[in-house]
Amino acid sequence: MELRICIDVDSLERGIAFYTHGLGLRLARRLGDDWAELLGAGSPIDLLAQAPGTAPLGEALAPRRDYARHWTPVHLDFVVTDLGQAVARLQAAGATLERPVQQRRWGRMANLADPFGHGFDLLEFQGRGYDEILQPAA
């Protein structure tokens, strides 16, 4: 089974620029004027250009698309090797750092939002990563 991640953006060109320059993904192909496939993460990421105010699944479903900052219970975590450098690159590409970088037992985490209102996290694992939570080092 393959997992594909779809991200709605209000401008395909801005979306491609943000995710390629900010996260280092690469444009694999364009699938029309409103769809681009990006590679370089664990799963392909499809950017889908959708106009603000349109209904995601038909006219009866609310709410309408809104690219202001919003929250959803599903978000993406990108694992990076240099958190400070990645945060700086993403901010230069238009991301917002939403709170200071946090130190955890397993490493460091940064909470950001892309220019389209989607929240995402950057993780920099240290030591044994998430295994630091489970058991002491041998």
CATH 3.40.50.10860 for the 69-138 domain, yes or no: no
Q: What's the mean pLDDT when you consider all of the chain?
A: 93
Q: pTM for the whole thing?
A: 0.88
Q: How far apart are CA 63 and CA 54, in angstroms?
A: 9
Q: How far apart are CA 64 and CA 54, in angstroms?
A: 5
Would you say 31 and 127 are in contact if contact means Cβ atoms under 8 Å apart? Answer: no
Same-fold call for 1-50 versus 69-138: yes
Q: Residue 39 phi/psi, 5° resolution?
A: -125, 165
Three-state DSSP state, 131 = helix
Q: If 0-12 CB within 10 Å is exposed, 13-18 middle and 19+ buried, where does residue 90 land?
A: buried
The model's pLDDT over 74-84, given as tens digits with 9 standing for 90+, comes to: 899 999 999 99
Three-state DSSP state, 133 = helix
Check residue 73 and give its pLDDT.
85
The model's pLDDT over 18-70, given as tens digits with 9 standing for 90+, comes to: 999 999 999 999 999 999 999 999 999 999 999 998 887 766 666 788 899 98
> Nearest-CA neighbor of 83 among 112, 105, 109?
109
1-50 in CATH: which number?
Answer: 3.10.180.10
Domain ranges of the chain: 1-50, 69-138
- Say how many Å lie between the first and final Cα of the chain, rounded: 35
Check residue 57 and give its pLDDT.
75
